[in-house]
Structure 1
């Protein structure tokens, strides 16, 4: 990796006992994960999990007491900044990737925000993806009882089902359907299958290191979300935690004004930041139709928007994938339509009444 290339960061999350460390142990034996720094989070007074990670101590950084979503967040930023500094000053010869393994109790959003929104780190790191593990034996009960587990699934780019070899009597079809309704855009993989390795789990971000281009289809997976939406429009038939989550795609055939898309994002961020779990998309802008805009946000934090040098394929539609919690799909669609110039009777009045936000300045597009 060239020194100036942003370092890809992968967040490995999953509820307690879901097999994160076992998966990490296996992945670290892959030659493609050479020169990877692994940050292992600990919860409690005594660190245990890091002893199970079969990696030399030089490659594993253990974060002390606390979980990544609370007391240790500042330490995470400091650790990432130190890694970047070591690379830039030559104290580390190569650093191809960073993997952050969170505690099972962690809300992954603050971890993603630390990578995407820190003013110094944002130029040196790029979020590659979120991998969430689910224990096939206990996943349904975990999702029923713990909202954190539901959120871990909802924001994932890849979901790995573990212990399927021990779950012969478990309702795996029902579990897969439930996961598909929660996050249809994330491929569901079986940890027992040989192909669930580096190629399936990593390099799932926007940037494709092999082709040196933006792989929008792999990143957005908006077609999978649209297909699932057709079959599972509003999943009210599942547990109440699940029913709070919605995943959908905003599609617009025309071009969008740069200021309009900025106002749309600022409106959601200022009024509903905690409800927008994740948003990522590619937008065709009217000021330069040949160079689309890429947006990526986690709750209230958005990565600085970037203009691609060109459209990566022949699909030039604006496509924005949105994952929300306790925020209606129709409201988001109406709000986007108002700013994108999509006609609808009294839409603007309804949007104004439902949001009533205080718009705050955001990134310039």
Structure 2
């Protein structure tokens, strides 16, 4: 897949409109965050797409005018309802922007509390017009610190929203003891080891942290790309206690909630560049066997004979075009791959990653694998 796309990626400035998906279960605080975004002029002009104005709870003090189902905010941002399907709504906004009727620099899509964000991410890729005009900039999930644990226990959609996120905002932490917030943050990192977790309480959160979350950016720095594909291990994790590379952090003394058990994640670091055929075979096999259950696959990959690494990302069986990192510097040529899946157990993940390890010199001692939720 990557090897076949190397000649189709042009080295030009990406002028596509960045799209951020904002999700989170009912009452988590998405509307509060939206009002903050729409009131802050320093974030630039943004078009926010919500399901219904009546349900959005927009702060009317921020509204300047309403016309043709589009609300103009005092900050210069826009807010509109989904009319028909999401593709049609985005296409209409872009057409008005191209005609000079509307002005905005990015799009934020708020999902319903019960929504699985996967279909939205796929829509941006499978619709030819949207794929040419927009790019996925990040998936932000808001989790209520007070009600989040019970919601995760009861609603698998909430678990999926966490597992697919680039950034998790832990809201309402001022309503719970610090130990409870810490325990929830640890649980969230177990569901999604590579996601950033922020606690936006008391004005300490800067809204610019919502942007530029995806590693599929031509201007991304090597440091940020590595962070995007590297699990943030809990503080008590001892790397010297995992010399085999096949065990995760110590299990919590509490029983793992049933929904959490359905989510598995694995990451692998390969020291030597991969053969393009080996990488394509691994990815094709993984998608063919468990495509619907693959919540996210992402990574930085070095291929034999190509000096530039590629960043790739996919949801289920739909993948973004790989992006070459032409600003990569230094001698580090390690590939880093992360898989987050539903109902895919450790043995299956291990066998999948072994396909890649088999093509590495001295793989039994060099390569590192980290798996969670055995």
In structure 2, what is the equivalent of residue 353 of structure 1?
none
User: Does the 8 A contact of 1:244 with 1:325 survive in 2?
Assistant: yes
| Structural mapping, 1:17-166, within 5 Å | 17-42=27-52, 47-49=54-56, 51-52=58-59, 54-56=62-64, 57-58=71-72, 59-63=78-82, 75-92=85-102, 94-166=103-175
Unaligned regions of 5+ residues in structure 1, if any?
65-71, 345-365
In structure 2, what is the equivalent of residue 187 of structure 1?
196
Shift of residue 123 of structure 1? 2.5
User: Does the 8 A contact of 2:278 with 2:359 survive in 1?
Assistant: no
- Relative contact order (alpha carbons < 8 A, sep ≥ 6): 1 or 2 greater? 2
TM-score (norm 2): 0.78
CA deviation map 1:206-226 (0-9, x unaligned): 2569x6656302432x14159
Q: Matches of 1:105 and 1:278 in 2, distance apart? A: 19
Q: Measured at CA, do residues 260 and 87 of structure 1 come closer, stay the same or move farther in structure 2, by a change above 3 Å?
A: farther
From 269, 283, 296, give the equivalent of 1:265. Answer: 283
Q: Matches of 1:255 and 1:208 in 2, distance apart? A: 22
Which deviates more, 184-193 or 315-324?
A: 184-193
Q: Matches of 2:156 and 2:197 in 1, distance apart? A: 20
In structure 2, what is the equivalent of residue 245 of structure 1?
263
Q: What secondary structure is seen at the aligned counterpart in 2 of 1:304?
A: coil
In structure 2, what is the equivalent of residue 69 of structure 1?
none
| Structural mapping, 1:244-323, within 5 Å | 244-288=262-306, 290-311=307-328, 314-323=331-340
User: Does the 8 A contact of 2:193 with 2:231 survive in 1?
Assistant: no
Unaligned regions of 5+ residues in structure 2, if any?
1-11, 65-70, 73-77, 238-246, 362-374
Q: What secondary structure is seen at the aligned counterpart in 1 of 2:128?
A: coil
CA deviation map 1:273-293 (0-9, x unaligned): 1211001111101131x1112
Q: Measured at CA, do residues 236 and 267 of structure 1 come closer, stay the same or move farther in structure 2, by a change above 3 Å?
A: farther
Shift of residue 101 of structure 1? 0.6
Q: Matches of 2:338 and 2:91 in 1, distance apart? A: 30
How many correspondences in the alignment? 327
TM-score (norm 1): 0.80
CA deviation map 1:70-99 (0-9, x unaligned): xx6xx111122223333344444x432110
CA RMSD of aligned residues (A): 3.0
Q: Matches of 2:49 and 2:251 in 1, distance apart? A: 38
In structure 1, what is the equivalent of residue 371 of structure 2?
none
Matched, 1:335 2:352: yes
